[in-house]
Structure 1
Amino acid sequence: MKTTVPAASDARAEIAHLVRTTPPLPSWIFSWEGWDRYVRTEFNPPDLLDCAPADVDVDEDDPRVDYHRHLLMIDTAFLKDCLLRARGTFGVNGNRYEGLLDMVIDGPAGTGKTYLLRLIGRELQRRVEKHFDDRVPVVHITVPHNPENELNWIWEIASFLALAPEPKSEAEARQLRRIPDLSLPVRTVLERKQTRLLLVDDIQRVSPAQLGPILHYFDFLRTRLGITTIFCGTGATDIVHAARKGCDRRDEALWTAHQRLQPGATPADLKAAVAKEQKVRSLLPVTWVDPLPWSDDAEGQAPFLAVLKGYEKNLRMRKLSKDVLTRHAQYLHDRTGGYFLYLSQLICGAAVAAILDGTEDITREHLQAIRIGREEILPSR
């Protein structure tokens, strides 16, 4: 089945459609079946004609309840720009045999990094499926529970590709099992299915020392198969850079290079030259995803207000007030700190409560009743 997307005269229009229709459904997408379903599903708002009539009490089965529990991420200029930059990197990588660049997505927890990571993968797969329907262009994994062993990382990829043998019974599942080396079947499937992108989430759960050895395996996939890896997680920039620095013995290589380039240099000169290069924080392009800002001037409030207006556009209620969210902008930012995670939880929770109690409008009381965390504030010293 081919994915249907509207004809677009430019990349931005196509990406805007993608952002608006990307489903945030938690269908556990670390498998090809789940990921493929995620890519193909479009999460559209329900028609009020398909919902309970206005004079009928609404229950949990109303389509709007399910919809508002999974309100879409907002179509922001930032997301569009991120996708365009990622498309540019893939475009360069796809036309060369060497010098491919991996990527990093970094920022505080709760800012939407994982959503952006998956949006990039979804966009790439949809573009590939316009021309081919027999490929696995994207593989999505998370850091394994025990990242010390390289085989555990390969097992994650194998599980996504349905190559990892599952226990045949509960008794077998309770037995200690030796993890087999699935590197050959993994490589074979990735090569035959022409995989081009590996998404690795939750990098914050691994230390540089644990990540270092598996980086050389990712290097092999990039060199042998042309697969780009995107590392995503809080602190991913420093973790990946430190891991690369250790596993590639980068400082020693820099020292030797400057010795060759400056044969008459003193040890102090060499040390200064190496120190200058060591100031580089990342050898990979980094996309920073930060909380939405807020300030007293109109320009500083514009990004947050644009997001709230996007949520207002997506709401489906029968008695929705004008500017139902933007009029509470200061309060919403104070509650959420501009983090998408908390903002989405707060708006979704209030919307569902307003539908179930028959109000059909979001009030300050609805917002105040929703608990999202961030309520306990330390006293000033």
Structure 2
Amino acid sequence: MSQLQHLRLDPALDDSGEAADEPLTTKEGWARFVGHRPTPPTGDDDARIEYLSELVMVNTPTIIEVIACARRLVMLKRRQVSARRGLIVTGVPGTGKTTAITALGRTHELAIRRKHPRELGRLPVIYVTVPPAATPRMLAVEFARFLGLPLTNRANLTEVVNAVCVTATHVGVDLVLVDEVHNLNLATRSGAEVSDQLKYFAERLPATFVYAGVDVERAGLFAGPRGRQIASRFTTIPTAGFAYGTPEQRATWRALVSGIETTLPLRKHPAGSLAKLDEYLHRRTAGMIGSLSHLIRGAAIDAILDGTEHITRAHLAAIRLDHAAETYASTRPSPATSAGAAATA
């Protein structure tokens, strides 16, 4: 079986197909995300452009590893009452951390739905983000908001936490996804208190906790006594841009490009034409999956708007990417440029 398999990761939609107001950090938005199953449209331009505005992704080796590791942890903790182990996904921006943990959550929830089809009130996954400059109460409120618990400004931290723990246990939560953990600064009092609050949730809830954040080690998540405890209980999976050095690495990158290419709703796009530009695409995007997705989808939208219905090198060249990708590309000459320089040397 290929290491790269198609996996649609889509935003929440309402029954009319329009984007819903609820974000993934609410149970309604999460449920729509898990249940959404779009297909590439063949209709008018607006429908196809709307489809391209969604995040189209494939099942990368990182996603495969995150899902395998987390599901193993979920099974190992079934009879564990304390010191439960968790998982941290960390790396530079644009390497698919949020995509990986939400793919994990979706895969897990769908598996639970298949296993317990009659338990309609079951809510196996919680997805929250750590707010900037968070306090313990702010974090607890994020959990309560996901669960849809009615809160008043008078509710103190203990009341919010107890309501969250009782409700989460009642609805069968067994996987908690916590994004943006780099917002925790253990060197500050509030950051340390939020870390303690997360630890308390992990002790109260019979669930596996999965964190995601930008370079969490540099952010100090493993510093000090609290950090050392996190380091001793959490497995770390690093994310990075796709390499392009060895034949195996190039094949993996080409498979990623091909996977995205097959999702394009273009009427005249020759199959495999983007895969032939794999070196150019890697140079343009620094091997970053987020930049690659943006580049291909943007070029596809332009191909629809200008009526060509297939992506050309000119379409790709016209797309301006993020600063990191543009800086990387500016330091890497194209093969044609390099060959010309060598010929005249």
Q: TM-score, normalised by structure 2?
A: 0.82
Is the Cα–Cα contact under 8 Å of residues 102 and 284 in structure 1 kept in the other structure? yes
2:299 partner letter: A
CA distance in 2, matches of 1:331, 1:288: 25
Among 288, 291, 314, which residue is 1:342 paired with?
Answer: 291
1:136 corresponds to which residue?
A: 123
Residue 113 of structure 1 is matched in structure 2 by: 97
Matched with 1:302 is 251
Query: Which one is further off, 211-220 or 356-365?
Result: 211-220
Q: How does 1:65-76 map to 2 (within 5 A)?
A: 65-76=49-60
Residue 195 of structure 1 aligns to a residue whose secondary structure is: coil
What letter matches 2:252 in structure 1? P
Q: Output the amino acid matched with 2:162.
A: L
Structure-to-structure mapping, 1:360-371, within 5 angstroms: 360-371=309-320
What residue is the counterpart of 2:183 in the other structure? 205
Once residues 248 and 329 of structure 1 are traced to their aligned partners in structure 2, the CA distance between those partners, rounded to angstroms, is 41
Aligned-partner residue type, residue 365 of structure 1? A
Q: Counterparts of 1:261-340 in structure 2 under 5 Å?
A: 283-295=233-245, 297-340=246-289
Moved over 6 A (4+): 377-380
CA distance in 2, matches of 1:240, 1:111: 20
Q: Deviation at 1:238?
A: 5.1
Give, in angstroms, the shift of residue 213 of structure 1. Answer: 2.0
Residue of structure 1 equivalent to 2:39 = 44
- The equivalent position to 2:148 in structure 1, one of 162, 166, 173, is 162
- Contact map agreement 1:107 1:233 (CA 8 A) in 2: yes
Count of residue pairs the alignment pairs up: 314
Cα displacement string for residues 291-337 of structure 1 (whole angstroms, at most 9, x for unaligned residues): 01112x42231111110111122122111124221122121111110
Query: One-letter code of the match for 1:45?
Result: P
What does residue range 214-253 of structure 1 map to in structure 2 within 5 Å? 214-237=194-217, 239=219, 241-242=221-222, 245-247=224-226
* 1:183 is the counterpart of 2:178: no
TM-score using structure 1 length? 0.74
Aligned to 1:64: 48
Offset, 1:107: 0.8
Q: RMSD value over aligned CA atoms?
A: 2.8
Seen in structure 2, the aligned counterparts of structure 1 residues 285 and 366 have a Cα distance that, compared at 3 Å, is: same
What are the ranges of 5 or more consecutive residues in structure 1 without an aligned counterpart?
A: 1-11, 53-57, 167-176, 251-279
Distance 1:329 1:298 in 2: 12
Shift of 1:160: 1.2
* In 1, Cα distance between equivalents of 2:196 and 2:299: 47
Matches of 1:109 and 1:282, distance apart in 2: 25
Structure 1 counterpart of 2:97, which letter?
A: K
CA displacement 1:76-105 (0-9 Å, x = unmatched): 344223212211111111243334202100
Structure 2 vs 1, CA of residues 379 and 197 (structure 1 numbering), >3 Å: closer, same or farther?
Answer: closer
Change (3 A) 1:144 1:324: same
Q: CA deviation at 1:230?
A: 1.2
Residues 1:102 and 2:89 are matched in the alignment: no
Q: Which amino acid aligns with 2:130?
A: V
Q: 1:136 to 1:71 in 2, by over 3 A?
A: closer
Deviation of 1:138 (Å) = 1.2
Larger radius of gyration: 1
Tell me how far apart the structure 2 counterparts of residues 287 and 38 of structure 1 sit (CA, whole Å): 24
8 Å Cα contact 1:196/1:227 also seen in 2:
yes
Contact 2:122 2:171 in 1 (8 A): yes
Q: Percent identity?
A: 28
Matches within 5 A, 1:86-97: 86-97=70-81
**Alpha carbons 1:74, 1:311 under 8 Å: kept:** yes
Match of 1:81 among 30, 46, 65: 65
SS at match of 1:139: strand
